[in-house]
Amino acid sequence: MIKVEVNASSSYDIFICSDLLKQVGESVMKLHSKARTVAIVTDETVAKLYLEAVATALFESGFIVHTYIITPGESSKSGTEYLALLEWLAQKQITRSDCIVALGGGVVGDLTGFAAATYLRGTPFIQVPTTLLAMVDSSVGGKTAINLESGKNLAGVFYQPSCVLCDVETLNTLSNETFCEGMAEIIKYGMLGDIALLEQLQNEPLAENLNNIIATCIRMKRDIVQNDEFDKGERQLLNFGHTIGHAIERQSGYKISHGNAVAMGMMIETGAAVKQSICPPECFSILKDLLQHFNIPSRIDYSSEELFNAALYDKKRTGDTITIIVPCEVGKCMLKKIKVDDLRDWIEMGLELCV
């Protein structure tokens, strides 16, 4: 078992191992000994695969268990679903001493975390991510949010979980497409600050190293979060590919998945950096080759005008400026503040290389 310790506004551990679903009950008991009831939030797909195992583990540890099941997909990360979940928690008389378990991918984790943060002004919750993307990204660091009609993740709070249990066995039931969405985030970490990770992805068998690769990404995010938990500076680096990626998601009506949209966003932002001689062409070629190697779509069918208009709702906009993340060399990125009106040109330049 690999354990990563996080010391943010609250301290907690992240575990990476097989068969962790069986230990959910023990984990809740250890962390929240006064809890009598546990609320599991999951989606229809994950419920069919793992709900019984998690509920059984909790029953065997002596907990009363209630289950809330949502429809899979971004449409469930909505204000309507959020309020429905809060009402359900109240009807089930969940108290502050009880615990909520987020069992699923990023949508489940984000929705559950935001509900946990705001129900009774804060109720403990545990992240049990079941996708690669959620393991290396959304379950770690305490960002919780729902989407508004105007854009992605526009309502949310910072709220750390009590622990994160990454049962790598759950990755075996992912479709190849869903698994590769997580690989896009792993590639992001290599582009941000780990050239050795990029080389490992290029040259070594993934299956033999996956647990350690997951741990590497989690440690990178942990270090950044500990330095800048509330996203005022360095943590914004983790948004590499996300400003344009979120615009792509919004423009597609969320038919393009988050992982694929981030991959496209990284391509555009790296391409623009190459066109402006901020980074060498090698940055773009390595990124493109890795995305192709893991069968991650990177073709963009939207115009610069469409993506610019969608990006105007990005959280990183401040007045007439917006902070974008651009590579400056292989394995290193930087924050760059530009005028909002210049973003259209950045997107256009990036699209010129994304053919």
The DSSP annotation for 189-204 comes to HHHHH-HHHHHHHHHS
- Least confident span in 203-207, 239-243, 305-309, 340-344: 203-207
pLDDT attached to residue 189: 97
Residues 225-278 have pLDDT tens digits of: 999 999 989 999 999 999 999 999 999 999 999 999 999 999 999 999 999 999
CA distance 45 to 234: 35
- Look at residue 8 and tell me whether its pLDDT is greater than 90: yes
Question: Predicted confidence band at 160 (pLDDT cuts at 50, 70, 90)?
Answer: very high
- Please state the rounded mean pLDDT for residues 67-95: 97
pLDDT attached to residue 354: 85
Burial call 190-199: b when 16+ CB within 10 Å, e when fewer: bbbebeebbe
- Identify residue 298 by its one-letter amino acid code: S
Q: Which of 260, 256, 250 is nearest to 179 (CA)?
A: 260
- Least confident span in 117-121, 133-137, 250-254, 310-314: 310-314
Residues 194-211 have pLDDT tens digits of: 999 999 999 988 988 999
Report the chain's mean pLDDT, rounded to a whole number: 95
Alpha carbon separation from 318 to 126, 343, 345 (Å, rounded)? 33, 13, 18
Whether the model clears a pTM of 0.75, i.e. scores above it, the answer is yes
